[in-house]
Structure 1
């Protein structure tokens, strides 16, 4: 009987991870890319994150949304990666994952918008990680300030301050 229960749990874990990958895979990839600025590394890290989630799914306590739990794992994994020898010794580049897909019929407007989005993303990617992460989570993932606080593990007032500082830095870079 215990083996049957264990099989059920494994099947449920697989269903949950499959659903997480389908619903949030691209978002996690973009989040990871915002940290590492390298397509190949972002893809590898995203796979590692979902493997880690699969392995740790039984530790999910339900105190936050599953999406918030997933983002927290992703952010911690990215920060660990950035502290590693690899990132201190290997140059990374590229911005292609931040281009959001548009459904506009007007090709000219799409091209202009993509150009502006790319320019803005280049400036965002130049920000220090602590500002870049709040900008990404707040504007690109549409998380509330409270959710950003939960995901980053930072006090709500710290998140507000970082978002305000990030906006100020962006405005300065875009105007100057």
Structure 2
């Protein structure tokens, strides 16, 4: 792992190889943040490039008041949200009020489970969740950010983050139980 202070200092001195190292270090983080918000692959690639352009252009303002990863994730999150707003895509505030009537997919559970491995199946379920749920689940469980860091990245109050995490986990658990029950009934 690279030393963030050293890499930032080198990038600010004009060392492009240092910036390449920074990109390599954080490209997965940026991709995961953007990918969980924006579903179109081509758009994801463009947004990720835009994120690193913003990182490069703003790096002189980064004062190490937070972790570099948190700062970069914040830029990625806001760039993706701005894309969603600009193109009238699903925005963060849209989530179902009635969780019992929320449907994940039109495909049968058997088809989904046979077609994908367990992790791909869970990924598939996460991608069908409302944007705010999949965002906090991704940042918390996959990127291992704390609730305070997620608040810093997204601007969502910490209490709401905890609530979204609880609801998202419950949604996943309920959907997986229904799918397993469906599969068991199909096999009888």
In the TM superposition, residue 47 of structure 1 has moved relative to its aligned partner by: 0.5
For 1:157, the equivalent position in structure 2 comes to 159
Q: Distance in 2 between matches of 1:67 and 1:167?
A: 25
Q: Distance in 2 between matches of 1:135 and 1:168?
A: 12
1:40 aligned onto 2:14: no
Q: Distance in 1 between matches of 2:32 and 2:22?
A: 15
> Is the 2:36–2:127 contact (alpha carbons within 8 Å) kept by the matching residues of 1?
yes
For 1:116, the equivalent position in structure 2 comes to 118
For 1:170, the equivalent position in structure 2 comes to 172
Correspondences of 1:31-110 after superposition (within 5 Å): 31-85=33-87, 87=89
CA-atom RMSD, angstroms? 2.2
Give structure 2 stretches of 5+ with no counterpart. Answer: 1-10, 91-113, 179-188
TM-score normalised by length of structure 2: 0.70
1:11 is aligned, of 7, 11, 14, to 14
SS at match of 2:65: coil
In the TM superposition, residue 10 of structure 1 has moved relative to its aligned partner by: 4.3
TM-score normalised by length of structure 1: 0.74
Give structure 1 stretches of 5+ with no counterpart. Answer: 1-7, 89-111
For 1:109, the equivalent position in structure 2 comes to none
SS at match of 1:82: helix
Q: Distance in 1 between matches of 2:22 and 2:88?
A: 28
For 1:95, the equivalent position in structure 2 comes to none
Bigger helix fraction: 1
For 1:142, the equivalent position in structure 2 comes to 144
In the TM superposition, residue 86 of structure 1 has moved relative to its aligned partner by: 6.7
Q: Distance in 1 between matches of 2:58 and 2:156?
A: 22
